């Protein structure tokens, strides 16, 4: 806790950048953007300027806004998912999203907010084991799609500089998002995507805008929980919380994990409808068996990545956010002139209302949440984990409702519904009970990446900022 501000972020250097910018006079929004942009330098496997950002912002007056920095598929898409890695690329939305966050809610100029990321890219970072491991995992794909990309040569402990990325960030500091969406930069993005089999054009980038909307909101234990509206699948968390809220006290504590897993199966049956229907899905009836596990569902899908940032300050600003390129290194399409990897968010198209089509945003896995209470307190939570995000946040909020403090709620054992199985962290006190209720339980080590890595920040009723980080992965929290 702190008198001034707090941050939790997926990388130590990102948290340090948030504090640095805040100490220069920035608010929690500036701090969040600074941390997000540093993550895009230090964790190119998880996030980047070639990817996206989604954020929920609480203003000092208590209003909640949703900023959707994601892009569309090509407006003219002749290859429509058949052209290879480049055909998975949608317009990168992160840089425009940062500019919108900074312009609407920030206290500093974008020039100052992006300075730590530009400096880190220019001066270099010490390569850690996480990045080396990510490169090893995706080496064959990177070599196949972008054989000359510099990240293939990183070695643990060395100082790695990214001059092209530094130059892009410096241009963005001076000229704003046009540094990516106009002129030579837009042409470079299109050229890389097309060379890898895609159809994205410079015109697609020039016409890009963020979505600035209101969140989807439901009641939960006397609080209000706000999630991202379409095209995010955050509404699935709202559906689960709404169903559970009125039934919570009637469900025995040792049955709640089973019931939540069943609720997750029900809400994910509507995943393809998220972008088309949004809050209207809250009217859907959920058929939940509180005694036995359903066996007819395949459930959420299996994949990971993404990085979270949560910030709060004593003026009343709170931010819950995620940055992502989707899969590891996104599409693996590297733009050498800009030093970025392009996302593969078009792989988020599935079927039905979420079928691949030109000029559309697919349903997004990014689903930060922000809870507010009548006493003025608030809590921002976000986690990586794709389809696991909704599940992890549901379990953390459930632990808090059951009386756990934040640290305990973050460290408690978790499960994840995935492809018809229920992955359960080793040592989960209800693991055997879940098996007994018919779940196909697969044990995973405590801290396995499948269970997410939550970042949390908020305000107490007397506007004291605080933050906390999940013990899983390398997330850290700092105050100032």
Mean pLDDT of 395-410: 97
**Portion of the chain with pLDDT greater than 90, in percent:** 93
Please report the pLDDT score of residue 294 as a whole number: 86
Phi, psi of 176 (to 5 degrees): 85, -165
Please report the pLDDT score of residue 304 as a whole number: 59
Mean pLDDT of 374-392: 95
d(CA 133, CA 27) in angstroms, rounded, equals 34
Tell whether the model's pLDDT for residue 297 goes beyond 80.
no
Tell whether the model's pLDDT for residue 3 goes beyond 90.
no
Residue 154: helix, strand or coil by DSSP? coil
Mean pLDDT of 204-219: 97
Work out the pLDDT band at 299, boundaries 50, 70, 90.
Answer: low
Please report the pLDDT score of residue 465 as a whole number: 97
Tell whether the model's pLDDT for residue 81 goes beyond 60.
yes
d(CA 316, CA 301) in angstroms, rounded, equals 37
Residue 397: helix, strand or coil by DSSP? helix
Please report the pLDDT score of residue 342 as a whole number: 98
Please report the pLDDT score of residue 83 as a whole number: 82
Burial 296-321 (b: 16+ CB within 10 A, else e): ebebbeebbbbbbbbbbbbebbbbbb
Task: Output the six-digit token pair for 173.
Answer: 């500091």
Least confident of 61-65, 180-184, 298-302, 406-410: 298-302
E strands within 155-286?
159-160, 211-213, 216-220, 223-227
Please state, rounded to an integer, the average pLDDT across all residues of the chain.
Answer: 95
Could you tell me what percentage of the chain is helix, strand and coil, using 3-state DSSP and rounding each to the nearest 5? 40, 20, 40
Please report the pLDDT score of residue 82 as a whole number: 84
Q: What is the pTM of this model?
A: 0.96
Report H helices in 43-162: 94-105, 110-113, 115-123, 129-145
For 213-304+368-479, CATH gives 3.60.20.40
Q: For the chain, where do the domains classified as CATH 3.60.20.40 start and end? A: 213-304+368-479
All residues at 6 or more sequence positions from 71 whose CB lies less than 8 Å from its CB, including other chains? 52, 90, 91, 92, 93, 204, 208, 345, 361
What is the tens place of the pLDDT at every residue in 18-70? 999 999 999 999 999 999 999 999 999 999 999 999 999 999 999 999 999 99
Please report the pLDDT score of residue 305 as a whole number: 75
Please report the pLDDT score of residue 125 as a whole number: 97
Tell whether the model's pLDDT for residue 300 goes beyond 90.
no
d(CA 11, CA 32) in angstroms, rounded, equals 12
**Portion of the chain with pLDDT greater than 70, in percent:** 98
Tell whether the model's pLDDT for residue 302 goes beyond 80.
no
Tell whether the model's pLDDT for residue 418 goes beyond 70.
yes
d(CA 465, CA 317) in angstroms, rounded, equals 9
For 90, 200, 342, the CA distances from 265, given in Å and listed in that order, are 28, 35, 31
What is the tens place of the pLDDT at every residue in 244-284? 999 999 999 999 999 999 999 999 999 999 999 999 999 99
Burial 41-80 (b: 16+ CB within 10 A, else e): bbbbbbbbbbbbbbbbbbeeeeebbbbbbbbbbbeebeee
For 172, 218, 459, the CA distances from 324, given in Å and listed in that order, are 19, 26, 26
């Amino acid at each position: 806790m702190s008198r001034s501000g707090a941050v939790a972020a997926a990388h130590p250097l990102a948290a340090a950048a948030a504090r640095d910018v805040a100490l220069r006079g920035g608010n929690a929004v500036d701090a969040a953007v600074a941390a997000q942009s540093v993550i895009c330098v230090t964790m190119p496997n998880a996030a980047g300027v070639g990817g996206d950002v989604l954020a929920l912002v609480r203003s000092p007056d208590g209003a909640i806004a949703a900023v959707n920095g994601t892009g569309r598929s090509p407006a003219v898409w002749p290859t429509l998912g058949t052209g290879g890695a480049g055909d998975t690329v949608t317009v990168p939305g992160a840089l425009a999203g940062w500019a919108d966050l900074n312009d609407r809610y920030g206290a500093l100029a974008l020039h100052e907010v992006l300075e730590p990321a530009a400096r880190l890219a220019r001066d270099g970072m010490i390569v850690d084991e996480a990045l080396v491991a990510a490169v090893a995992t995706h080496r064959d794909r990177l070599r196949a799609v972008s054989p000359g990309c510099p990240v293939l040569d990183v070695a643990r402990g060395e100082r790695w500089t990214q001059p092209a990325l530094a130059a892009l960030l410096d241009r963005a500091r001076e000229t704003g998002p046009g540094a990516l969406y106009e002129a030579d930069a837009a042409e470079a993005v299109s050229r890389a995507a097309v060379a890898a089999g895609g159809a994205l054009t410079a015109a697609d980038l020039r016409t890009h805008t963020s979505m600035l909307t209101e969140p989807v909101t439901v009641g939960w234990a006397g609080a209000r929980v706000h999630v991202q509206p379409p095209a995010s699948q955050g509404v699935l968390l709202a559906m689960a919380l709404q169903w559970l809220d009125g039934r919570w006290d009637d469900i025995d504590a040792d049955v709640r994990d089973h019931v939540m897993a069943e609720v997750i199966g029900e809400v994910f049956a509507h995943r393809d409808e998220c972008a088309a229907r949004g809050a209207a899905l809250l009217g859907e009836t959920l058929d939940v068996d509180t005694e036995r596990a359903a066996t007819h569902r395949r459930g959420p899908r299996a994949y990971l990545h993404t990085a979270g940032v949560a910030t709060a300050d004593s003026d009343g600003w709170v931010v819950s956010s995620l940055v992502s390129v989707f899969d590891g290194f996104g599409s693996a399409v590297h733009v050498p002139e800009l030093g970025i990897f392009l996302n593969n968010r078009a792989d988020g198209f599935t079927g039905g209302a979420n079928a691949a089509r030109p000029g559309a945003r697919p349903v997004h896995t990014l689903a930060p949440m922000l809870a507010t209470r009548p006493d003025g307190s608030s809590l921002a939570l976000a986690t990586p984990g794709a389809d696991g995000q909704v599940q992890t946040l549901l379990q953390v909020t459930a632990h808090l409702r059951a009386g756990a403090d934040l640290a305990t709620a973050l460290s408690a054992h978790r499960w994840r519904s995935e492809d018809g199985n229920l992955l359960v962290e080793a040592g989960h006190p209800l693991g055997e009970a879940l098996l007994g209720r018919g779940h196909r339980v697969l044990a995973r080590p405590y801290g396995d990446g499948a269970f997410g890595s939550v970042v949390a920040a908020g305000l107490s009723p007397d506007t004291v900022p605080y933050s906390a980080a999940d013990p899983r992965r390398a997330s850290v929290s700092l105050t100032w």
